[in-house]
Amino acid sequence: MIIIDKDKKIFHLRTKKMSYVFRILKNGSLGHLYYGDTLSEDENFDYLANVENKAAGTIKYYENDSKFSLGAETSEFNIYGTGDFRQPAIELRISNRLFYPEFAYVDHEITYRKERIPEVPRVYGDEYENLTITLKDKNLNLYLKLNYSITDESSAIVRSSSLINTSQHTYTISRFMSGTLDIPSADLDFISLSGAWLRERHLVRQPLRMGIQSVGSVRGASSHQQNPFIMLAEKNANEFSGTVYAASLVYSGNFLAQTEVDEWNVSRILIGINPMNFAWQLKPGDEFKTPECIFAVTQKGFNEISHTFHNIINDNIVEQRYKNFQRPIVVNSWEANYFNFDENSLLKLADLTTKIGADTLIVDDGWFGERDSTKKSLGDWFEDKRKFPHGIGKFAEHIHEKGLKLGLWFEPEMVDPDSDLYRAHPEWSIGKIDQRRSFGRGQLVLDMANPEVIDYLIASIDSMIERTKLDYIKWDMNRNITEAFSNYLDNEHQGELLHRYIMGVYKLMSHICEKYPDIIIENCAGGGGRFDLGMLYYSPQIWTSDDSDGVERLMIQYGTSMCYPLSSLSNHVTAVPNHQIDRVVPLNFRNNVSTFGVLGYELDLSELSEDELNEIKDQVSEYRKRQKLIFSGTFSRLKSPFCGNETAWQVVSKNKEEVLVGWYKVLAKPNQRNQSYLKLVGLEKDYYYSVSNDDTIHSGAALMNMGIRLPYDFNGANQETAQISGDFQSELFTLRKVNKKVI
Ligand code: DGJ
């Protein structure tokens, strides 16, 4: 509900889970008032709005009004140059000169519903109520629109901004954030999902301090190193309680997510496209729209923030056709064979895929051009005749005859200098052709801002899809953009390249999604280097990390789940010793970790014993029964791998009838009490639940206050005197509500 007090010029965006309040300030700009738990419809905000600003040392806006300084006001979209010296939300130039727009309220509009637009990732849904505030520069014909969208069941607010040029001049936008949020406290921690290739999205928590703390990417992709999702949390906030604010960007390119704490302990979040190397020419008649950002707030800790994001992603970002769609259980050829395969070895892998009960064979890197290593053929999207002497169409027929689905790996955005494509079109690659360029994996990046490149990729991928009746695409992207220069754009437009690049990627992905609705795209960027809401708009699942070691995955999946739902985490059981870290973790531990996401396999199944194949077969069949619960239930984290030797998490179905709990203990510890319990959350306290591995039933209240009993085994050699359990213990518990109420 959007409540507007015209006299007081206050806008109150109100849902069952939050209130968001702002007002029009004296100079016509917007001042933020409140974001937090729902307040009453007729709440009187005078005490927030009519504060006499006595902050000393500020620059006043009007000569004769000593009480009005933008430096001391909270804001909805701050502009540099007026006495608010914090980093601006927008920066505009004319003929290379910075100028200081004065955007003032003109009018507002309320609309309903947010449409899905194929080529632009955004939150969509019939349930949205939208408020657009239009502001106009006092001197120039420039309009700024601030968009806000809410739904009744969520604490989230979706924001975006756009700039419209109705003047005769061209302006350069050198910075344009999607949204800002002022929080009247700095006694908070700044939390990010940070890491590296093979250890993406680890949880990093550090205290806020005066000044700027930020995460971002200037790599042309959202990146392995930082994720476009941050939280500000009260010092005592944990998974279950405490105030937490979160911000995320619906975008896959360069981003900035920062907090600036001013001298009065106001924390301002800014989130949007990274201004580094961004310069957009806004010509007369043009409009530039930022990507959307999502803010969320709760008093109930990190799990509640995750539930908010998981719901939005599942219901309002991912294409709805995937929602009730049984996701494929794949066997992927990469860690099974790397580049060393041909149609015969793949057909054998296909037979074993059938044997374990999986349903899709993914032929990863190496099937095209003359690709025997990472140094050749990217861009040549036709089959390698040495590996497929009977043609890839015939191979696909064999796979389909076996009752399997087929997936192929593509890395559409890349080109190898040793490829037919590069020989024909060197100017399609990013960077000046006659100058030194940096290489990653020996490859260059294609200029996705060039429509001819997109047309070429559409034609070659379409042809392969049609020849193979393809069911699945693994879309990889293995290097970041350096020496950013487009041979297609003129000098004036070079600052647009990195945004145009990602819009080109979206165009190509939307083409595939629209033309081939039965194909599922799994996203990947050297593992989880582009795990973001922009990619999830087109591909409902993302390869979480190239590191598939069971222990490392506990941290990666735990951190990733802060923002992203289990339905988006692609997790494969791989071989031991693990190819990334050489660790040997038992098969059931690897399965029990991978189960919390989209399960798949990526190992040479022919090297496994009959017993191991049977164990996997059982795991696949168990997972099939659980997939609906895992994807549609409410996921909560119970014990953090960043805090100790044990990790635990759970999923509860929306009707609270079914529960799946995963518990993991990495290293054995001697002499531990064998009566240890794990407290669950979100059950019906007045009903009984049956617990697998236990003959008794327990009330929801007991399971939430005392917990399920953990299997601390005595299986060491000297079990008479000490408790030494083996390393890598884990257990999955299934709970079911029984039709019996506690009396
Ligand atoms: C990086 C990906 O993350 C891997 O899964 C695999 O597809 C390789 N690229 C192939 O080159």
Strands 171-183 and 267-273, sheet pairing: antiparallel
In a shared domain, residues 210 and 346 = no
Q: How far is the CA of 339 from the centre of ligand 1 (A)?
A: 11
Asked if residue 681 lies in contact with residue 634, where contact means CB atoms within 8 angstroms, the answer is no
335 lines ligand 1 (CB under 6 A): no
Pocket test for ligand 1, best of 198, 523, 524 (most atoms within 8 A of CB): 524
581 and 439 in a single domain? The answer is yes
- Yes or no: say if 735 and 659 are a contact pair by the CB < 8 Å rule: yes
State the Cα–Cα distance between residues 319 and 560, nearest whole angstrom: 20
Provide the pLDDT for residue 715. Answer: 53
Convert the pLDDT of each residue in 178-232 to its tens digit. 999 999 999 999 999 999 999 999 999 999 999 999 999 999 999 999 999 999 9
Note whether 431 and 489 are within 8 A (CB).
Answer: no
Percent of the chain predicted with pLDDT > 90: 90
- Which residue's alpha carbon is at the smallest distance from atom 4 of ligand 1? 526
Task: Report the run of H or E that residue 514 belongs to, with start and end.
Answer: helix 497-515
For residue 321, give both structure tokens.
């056709």
Q: What is the average pLDDT across 399-423? A: 98
CA atoms within 13 A of residue 284's CA, in its CB half-sphere: 3
Q: Is 343 in the pocket of ligand 1 (CB under 6 A)?
A: no
The reply to whether 182 belongs to the active site is no
Give me the pLDDT at residue 30, please: 98
CA of 333 to the centre of ligand 1 (A): 10
Q: Are residues 582 and 678 in the same domain?
A: no
Mark whether 334 and 251 lie in a shared domain.
no
What is the rounded distance in angstroms from the CA atom of residue 542 to the CA atom of residue 476? 10
Among 181, 210, 185, residue whose Cα is nearest residue 266: 185
Q: Which atom of ligand 1 is found nearest the CA of 364?
A: 7
Q: Which band of pLDDT confidence, cut at 50, 70 and 90, is reported for residue 378?
A: very high
Q: Which one, of 353, 473, 370, lies nearest residue 416 by Cα?
A: 370
Has 384 been annotated as catalytic?
Answer: no
Spacing of C-alpha 606 from chain mean position: 35
For ligand 1, mutation pick of 334, 335, 413 (most atoms within 8 Å of CB): 334
What gap in Å lies between CA 315 and CA 632, rounded to an integer? Answer: 10
Residue pair 335/603 in contact by the 8 Å Cβ criterion: yes
Q: Could you tell me whether strands 569-574 and 541-543 are parallel, antiparallel, or unpaired per DSSP bridges? A: parallel
Residue nearest to atom 10 of ligand 1 (CA): 365
Among the listed residues 189, 262, 416, 546, the single catalytic one is 546
137 appears as a binding residue in the annotation: no
Q: Whose CA is nearest to atom 9 of ligand 1?
A: 526
Which has the closest alpha carbon to 295: 313, 308, 311? 308
Can you name the residues that pair with 259 across neighbouring β-strands? Answer: 213, 269
Residue 722 has pLDDT above 80, yes or no: no
Indicate if 450 and 599 belong to the same structural domain: yes
Looking from the CA of residue 474, the nearest atom of ligand 1 is 7
- Whether residue 660 has pLDDT greater than 80: yes
What confidence score (pLDDT) does residue 713 get?
A: 59
What's the pTM? 0.97
577 cis-preceded (ω within 30 degrees of 0):
yes
pLDDT at 291 over 60: yes
Residue 593 to residue 544: CA distance in whole angstroms:
12
Q: What is the CATH number of the domain that holds 645?
A: 2.60.40.1180
Residue 720 has pLDDT above 60, yes or no: no
One-letter amino acid of 575: A
C-alpha distances out from residue 311 to 32, 154, 181, 246, Å: 26, 9, 22, 14
Mean pLDDT confidence for 401-416: 98
The predicted-structure confidence for 22-76, as pLDDT tens digits, reads as follows 999 999 999 999 999 999 999 999 888 777 666 777 888 998 888 889 999 999 9
* Residue 725's pLDDT band (cuts 50, 70, 90): low
> Could you identify the residue written with the tokens 């800014």?
270
> pLDDT digits over 249-263, tens only?
999 999 999 999 999
Asked whether residue 44 is marked as a ligand-binding residue, the answer is no
Locate tokens 């989130």: which residue?
271
pLDDT at 114 over 70: yes
Ligand 1 atom nearest to CA at 527: 3
Say if residue 605 is in the same domain as residue 647.
no
Domain hosting residue 693, numbered range: 639-741
- Tell me the average pLDDT across 98-115: 97
Q: Are residues 645 and 579 in the same domain?
A: no
Contact 124/114 with Cβ under 8 angstroms?
Answer: yes
Q: Hey, which residues does 142 pair with through a beta bridge?
A: 165
Token pair recorded at residue 218: 């200037």
- Residues 616, 660 within the same domain: no
Q: What is the model's pLDDT at position 694?
A: 77
CA angle, 713 as apex, 712 and 719 as ends, to 5°? 130
Q: Shortest CA distance to 693 belongs to which of 653, 663, 727, 655? A: 663
| Per-residue H/E/C for 83-117 | CCCCCCCEEEEECCEEECCCEEEEEEEEEEEECCC
Last residue of a domain, which of 300, 317, 334?
A: 317
Residue showing tokens 């105030």: 243
| Residue of minimum CA distance from atom 11 in ligand 1 | 365
Q: Is 543 in the pocket of ligand 1 (CB under 6 A)?
A: yes
CA–CA–CA angle 406, 553, 692 (5° rounding): 90
Report the SS3 class of residue 443: strand
* Overall number of domains in the chain: 3
Q: Are 556 and 545 contacting, i.e. CB atoms less than 8 angstroms apart?
A: yes
Mean pLDDT of 510-527: 97
Query: Is 647 in the same domain as 552?
Result: no
pLDDT, mean of residues 67-91:
94
Give the residue carrying structure tokens 């619960």.
Answer: 629
d(CA 406, CA 296): 39
Let me know: does 214 contact 269? Beta carbons within 8 Å. Answer: no
User: Are residues 737 and 599 both part of a single domain?
Assistant: no
Centroid of ligand 1 to alpha carbon of 517 (angstroms):
24
Same domain, 561 and 476: yes
Q: Are residues 468 and 554 in the same domain?
A: yes
**597-623 pLDDT, tens digit each:** 999 999 999 999 999 999 999 999 999
Residue among 370, 398, 549, 540 at smallest CA distance from 469: 398
E strand or H helix at 555, and its extent?
helix 550-560
Q: Which DSSP helix (H) or strand (E) runs through 176?
A: strand 171-183
CA-CA distance, 246 to 562, in Å (whole number)?
A: 10
Is 364 within any annotated ligand binding site? yes
Query: 35: which strand partners?
Result: 20
Nearest to 260 by CA among 237, 290, 230: 230
pLDDT tens-digit readout, 124-135: 999 999 999 999
Q: According to the model, what pLDDT value does residue 591 have?
A: 98
Of the residues 476, 572, 598, which should be mutated to test ligand 1's pocket, given the most ligand atoms within 8 Å of the CB? Answer: 476
pLDDT higher for 709 or 2? 2
CA distance 191 to 433: 41
CA angle, 647 as apex, 525 and 190 as ends, to 5°?
Answer: 65
- Name which residue sits closest to atom 6 of ligand 1, judged by CA: 334
pLDDT surpasses 70 at 354:
yes
For residue 360, give both structure tokens. 């899709």
How many residues are there in the chain?
Answer: 743
CB 675 within 8 A of CB 711: no
Query: What is the distance in A from the centroid of ligand 1 to the CA of 526?
Result: 5
Q: Which two tokens stand for residue 475?
A: 């879309």
Tokens 């990790």 correspond to what residue? 647
Query: Residue 216 belongs to a domain with what CATH number?
Result: 2.70.98.60
User: Reduced to 3 DSSP states, what percent helix, strand and coil does the chain have, rounded to the nearest 5?
Assistant: 20, 35, 45
Q: How far apart are the first and last CA of the chain?
A: 40
Q: Among residues 639, 551, 565, 641, which one has the least CA distance to residue 596?
A: 565
90 by Cβ neighbours in 10 Å (0-12 / 13-18 / 19+) ranks as buried
| 643 assigned binding-site residue | no
Q: Which of 290, 317, 344 is the last residue of a domain?
A: 317
> Looking at 571, 600, 632, which one is the last position of a domain?
632
Average pLDDT, the chain: 95
Does the annotation flag 197 for ligand binding?
A: yes
Q: Can you tell me which residue has the tokens 């795209």?
A: 521
Q: Indicate if the pLDDT at residue 482 is higher than 50.
A: yes
Helix (H) or strand (E) holding 163: strand 157-165
pLDDT of residue 719: 47
Decide: 334 in ligand 1 pocket, CB within 6 A.
Answer: yes
Q: How far is the CA of 525 from the centre of ligand 1 (A)?
A: 8
For residues 61 and 72, give the distance between their C-alpha atoms in angstroms, rounded to a whole number: 11
Q: Ligand 1 in contact with 200 (CB < 6 A)?
A: no
- Checking if the pLDDT of 714 tops 70, the result is no
What distance in angstroms lies between residue 338's CA and the mean position of ligand 1's atoms? 9
CB neighbours of residue 460 within 10 Å? 18
Q: Map tokens 């809410």 to a residue.
A: 150
pLDDT digit string (tens) for 230-252? 999 999 999 999 999 999 999 99
User: What is residue 14's three-state secondary structure?
Assistant: strand
- Binding site annotation covers 524? yes
Please state, for a pLDDT cut of 70, what percent of the chain lies above it.
Answer: 97
Question: Which of the residues 380, 476, 532, 549 is marked catalytic?
Answer: 476
